[in-house]
Amino acid sequence: MQVYTYSEARQKLAKVLRVAESTGKVIIRRKDGHAFALVPEIERKSPLDVPSVKARISTQELVALLHKERRRSRRRKTS
């Protein structure tokens, strides 16, 4: 973990941010002795956030396929 003075951190902010990103944490210490941790923010994504698929199928065709599959799976359950 890297420790910077306030003045160093101010002068080399881009470098300090890169170090924090790569190591996970940087400490910035003021003259009066107070210390502050600089940590990268964790980007929260939804598990449903997936890339789209390019398909050459219309909405009506897709709905028809879903209905057909649902009917087929219901028949299997009752058999």
Asked whether residue 30 carries a pLDDT value surpassing 90, the answer given is yes
Query: Number of C-alpha atoms within 13 angstroms, CB side, residue 10?
Result: 5
Q: For residue 8, give the amino acid letter.
A: E
The reported pTM is 0.55
- Position 53 scores a pLDDT of 81
Cβ 16 vs Cβ 26: under 8 Å: yes
- CA pair distance 49, 26, nearest whole angstrom: 31
Interval 21-26 mean pLDDT: 95
Question: For the chain, which residues make up each domain, given as ranges?
Answer: 2-38
Query: pLDDT-derived band of residue 36, with 50, 70 and 90 as boundaries?
Result: very high
The CATH classification number of 2-38 equals 3.40.1620.10
Asked whether residue 77 carries a pLDDT value surpassing 80, the answer given is no
CA-based radius of gyration for the chain: 27
